[in-house]
A and B are shown apart, each in its own frame.
Chain A
Amino acid sequence: MYKYDHYDRKIVNQRVDQYEDQLNRYFNKELTDEEFRPLRLQNGLYIQRHAPMLRVAIPYGLLSSNQLRALADIADEFDRGYGHFSTRQNIQFNWPKLEETPKILRKLADVEMHAIQTSGNCIRNITTDPYAGVTPDEIVDTRYIAEILRQWSTFHPEFALLPRKFKISISGSKQDRALVKTHDIGLELVKEDDNLFVNVFVGGGLGRTPVIGQLLKEKLPIEHLLSYCESIIRIYNLYGRRDNMYKARIKILVKALGVESFKKQVEDDWNDGKNSSNHLNDKEISRVKQFFTSPDYEVLESIHLEGQYSEDQNFLKWIKRNTRDHIKIGYRSVTISLKGKKQTAPGDIQSTEMRVVADLADQYSFGEIRSTHEQNLVLADVKEKDLFDVYSVLRENNLGEANIGLITDIICCPGGDFCSLANAKSIPIAKSIDNLFDNYDFLFDIGTISLNISGCMNACGHHHVGNIGILGVDKDGSEWYQITLGGQQGVNASLGKVIGPSFSADEVPAVIKEILNIYIAQRDTEEEEFIDCYNRIGLDPFKEAIYKN
């Protein structure tokens, strides 16, 4: 993975100094609340319902074991012994003290980490496919391009105070696991005769006004990637709305202007050829690429695990759900579920568990861990012959839940328990749904499906793109839940449709169960996944059954 040189180190250390000075001036009343707010946000610091929340960047979701241990130490020393993985591959601490934040940032800097641009109206953490570099359907490894984008976007002088936050995501595989069509800029890497090109999507997003991104530029040669993004964001910076935060995202601008007219403005800026000194060259691309070469894989043979472990059905279930094919024979990628019965909230992880995962990474997976936007963790390079040992350690530590891609692999925002913007709680809803599935056969019978929960229309829990989406709404001061069906992420990204009037928290589990029963009754074969069945039969059968009483 990428290693800091003295330039990176200096920049990150100077950012801590700068932040500490800002915090001191705030404490000395040289900065008002209003002035300090954007400054602290640019360093990942929210002021929440209970305490500040510090969001730490995990650039494109890649972590070393030592970094994960440092996060565990921070959780113990400055928080309540746990952290929360977010839907943009970052980690959040919910209970730090404001005056201790510079200390936390220094600890992070020691292990080449930071909280730069993890919130605020600036370019956020670049996200990508958590299986980059190891997935068989990969066309281009996105990690080095993501690192190039990270550096370019860090303290970009023009884009520190945009109308609203700005999220960029990048995918390089046949399947899009990076949600490029629901990002402000989504980048799809393609290859032709060994030359790299980028398809640039713009104006996607969830939140109050969910929109699927549109193709702005096809086959942009890679050397223009940064300058083209600069032109897009410059036009947005100048013309995006600043009077209404709910209409300030680039998607609203693109919609209002129309993609063609927006494109014309972008290209007018870009075409004069001198818009940027940030034209990438081969030397820089190779320099960054060499940090992401393949580790020393052994030449192995594939193992027939079903035969060898036929008596351990739990292990085999875990293999089926939580591991996936790897580019190298004899290896698989392991996804560790953070959605087990023991987790307090989806994506939460105790410091002790972080250390277990870090040790496993050292022993079995070249010392690296990835975080996913589904709020799970990945050990990308585990030998098949080690899988049972890895599983055993995970299971002993309550991390062995075999539910990746199943309905209990819920994406859920912090909701009313933590978030001051919430209309309703979301974590207890996740728990109540989780409790429906004590019977693993039912869970496995339902198969692949996604269920996403947000506590308000800001959509931190991506409810629009869940096959089942649950949204907290406020009706006369009490908490209600609106359910959508048919949302989907990936190449065929689509937004869910509202099924009808909303439900109380008590009703939600029964409604979910009913939806699943209808699916099971209506599916063609056991192989037909929920979303395919829904696309075939539509909303009505579900609606009728649920509202018949």
Chain B
Amino acid sequence: MDTQLIKNKELVLNDWFWIVPDTSNEEVKKQAGKVVQFKLTGECFPSDATLNNVILPEAEKVIVPLRLFLLQTDKIKKKYKEYGIWIYSHDELDLFSHLKEDINSFPVVGVYVEKFADGRIYSLGNLIRRKLSYKNDLRALGDVFKDQLFYLARSGFDSFLIKDGYDAKKALLGLEDFSYSYQGTLSQKPLWGER
């Protein structure tokens, strides 16, 4: 199967259309913001104008940026049979509080990392599971390949869209890198219980 999507430890057909706004012309903030220190420097969010320019594709199932969903909720709900949402790794968790919908009404929630060395995705996984009590498919998007999967899975993610050009079959093996882990997670007890 020619697919880059790993879910529940298997390669599966990817029938989700992932909508990514083009931010290449967006202005990048050079200064750290006053309110949320540090978050904004060098990182950019799509402006409302950019989001409103996104052409909604013909598809059955889509994953849309949360910012776009908030802007065009009705349109998206009407157009698609199923829809999920995604956030940037530099988004605030607070962004979810603007949703009127229950987060568990979304079959998929994604977190996007631009660079794999960006480790915020792991803590966001923890928060989305713990603080927002999200129960469905939590998906890692973006610069995702073999070497993150073991950690991502333990931070609450259950599906991974492997970056194009990277061998998804090999990546799958990353989930088996270690047979044991010392520390507990939200879903696993620490190893010391077994000793």
Besides A22-B147, A158-B126, A161-B118, 15 more A-B contacts (Cβ < 8 Å) are A14-B177, A15-B178, A121-B117, A152-B183, A155-B150, A157-B122, A157-B185, A158-B122, A239-B38, A241-B38, A241-B41, A243-B42, A253-B37, A272-B131, A278-B183
How many residues of chain A are within 8 Å of chain B by beta carbon?
48
Q: Is the CB of B185 within 8 A of A277?
A: yes
Question: B37's contact among A17, A158, A256, by CB below 8 Å, is which?
Answer: A256
Chain B residues with CB below 8 A from A151, complex form: 182-183, 191
Q: Is the CB of B178 within 8 A of A155?
A: yes
Q: Is the CB of A161 within 8 A of B117?
A: yes
Q: Is the CB of B192 within 8 A of A276?
A: no
Q: Is the CB of B155 within 8 A of A277?
A: no
Q: Is the CB of B119 within 8 A of A277?
A: no
Give Cα distance in the complex from A277 to B183, angstroms.
8
Question: A257's contact among B37, B126, B166, B192, by CB below 8 Å, is which?
Answer: B37
Give Cα distance in the complex from A239 to B126, angstroms.
15
For residue A154, CB closer than 8 A to chain B, the reply is yes
Give the shortest distance, in Å, between B78 (CB) and chain A (any CB).
35
For residue B48, CB closer than 8 A to chain A, the reply is no
Q: Is the CB of A277 within 8 A of B37?
A: no
For the A-B complex, the count of residue pairs with Cβ-Cβ distances under 8 Å equals 124
Give the shortest distance, in Å, between A126 (CB) and chain B (any CB).
13
Q: Is the CB of B195 within 8 A of A237?
A: no
Give Cα distance in the complex from A133 to B152, angstroms.
38
Question: B189's contact among A35, A156, A277, by CB below 8 Å, is which?
Answer: A277
Question: B182's contact among A17, A39, A154, A275, by CB below 8 Å, is which?
Answer: A154
For residue B53, CB closer than 8 A to chain A, the reply is no
Chain A residues with CB below 8 A from B178, complex form: 10-11, 14-15, 18, 155
For residue B188, CB closer than 8 A to chain A, the reply is yes
Given A30-B167, A256-B37, does the pair A7, B119 have CB atoms closer than 8 Å? Answer: no
Give Cα distance in the complex from A239 to B89, angstroms.
11
Question: B130's contact among A10, A22, A275, by CB below 8 Å, is which?
Answer: A275
Main secondary structure of the interface of B (DSSP, over half): loop
Chain A residues with CB below 8 A from B7, complex form: none
Question: B122's contact among A152, A161, A272, A283, by CB below 8 Å, is which?
Answer: A161
For residue A242, CB closer than 8 A to chain B, the reply is yes
Give Cα distance in the complex from A226 to B192, angstroms.
13
Give Cα distance in the complex from A72 to B125, angstroms.
43
Give the shortest distance, in Å, between B81 (CB) and chain A (any CB).
34
Given A121-B117, A158-B123, A159-B119, does the pair A243, B41 have CB atoms closer than 8 Å? Answer: yes
Q: Is the CB of B183 within 8 A of A39?
A: no
| CB-based nearest A residue for B125 | A158
Chain A residues with CB below 8 A from B80, complex form: none
Give the shortest distance, in Å, between B8 (CB) and chain A (any CB).
18
Interface size class of B (residues with CB under 8 A): 35 or more
Give the shortest distance, in Å, between B123 (CB) and chain A (any CB).
5
For residue A447, CB closer than 8 A to chain B, the reply is no
Give Cα distance in the complex from A283 to B43, angstroms.
46
CB-CB contacts of A212-235 with B at 8 A, as 1s and 0s? 000000000000001000000010
Question: B119's contact among A152, A161, A278, by CB below 8 Å, is which?
Answer: A161
Give Cα distance in the complex from A151 to B190, angstroms.
10
CB-CB contacts of B153-189 with A at 8 A, as 1s and 0s? 1110000000000110000000001111111111011
Q: Is the CB of B155 within 8 A of A157?
A: yes
For residue B61, CB closer than 8 A to chain A, the reply is no
For residue B124, CB closer than 8 A to chain A, the reply is yes
Interface residues of B (CB under 8 A from A): 32, 36-39, 41-43, 116-120, 122-126, 130-131, 145, 147, 150-155, 166-167, 177-186, 188-192, 194-195
Segment 103-129 of A: residues with Cβ below 8 Å from B: 121
Given A11-B178, A39-B147, does the pair A274, B130 have CB atoms closer than 8 Å? Answer: yes
Chain A residues with CB below 8 A from B43, complex form: 243
Q: Is the CB of A239 within 8 A of B37?
A: yes
Give Cα distance in the complex from A444 to B166, angstroms.
63
Q: Is the CB of B124 within 8 A of A238?
A: yes
Q: Is the CB of A237 within 8 A of B184?
A: no
Give Cα distance in the complex from A156 to B123, angstroms.
11
Chain A residues with CB below 8 A from B183, complex form: 151-152, 156-157, 226, 278
Give the shortest distance, in Å, between B169 (CB) and chain A (any CB).
12
Q: Is the CB of A256 within 8 A of B119?
A: no
Q: Is the CB of A277 within 8 A of B122?
A: no
Chain A residues with CB below 8 A from B125, complex form: 158
Q: Is the CB of B180 within 8 A of A10?
A: yes
- 9 A-B pairs with the lowest CB-CB distances in the bound complex, closest first: A161-B119, A277-B184, A157-B154, A243-B42, A151-B182, A157-B151, A158-B122, A243-B41, A284-B192
Give Cα distance in the complex from A272 to B133, angstroms.
13
Give Cα distance in the complex from A241 to B167, angstroms.
32
For residue A361, CB closer than 8 A to chain B, the reply is no
Q: Is the CB of B120 within 8 A of A238?
A: yes
Chain A residues with CB below 8 A from B181, complex form: 11, 155, 157
Q: Is the CB of B116 within 8 A of A240?
A: no
Can you list 23 A-B contacts (CB < 8 A)? A7-B191, A10-B179, A11-B179, A17-B177, A38-B117, A121-B117, A151-B183, A155-B178, A155-B181, A156-B183, A157-B122, A157-B150, A157-B154, A157-B183, A160-B151, A161-B116, A161-B119, A234-B123, A238-B120, A256-B37, A256-B38, A277-B188, A278-B190
| CB-based nearest B residue for A280 | B192
Chain B residues with CB below 8 A from A238, complex form: 120, 123-124
Give the shortest distance, in Å, between A466 (CB) and chain B (any CB).
31
| CB-based nearest A residue for B36 | A239
Q: Is the CB of A162 within 8 A of B119?
A: yes
| CB-based nearest B residue for A161 | B119
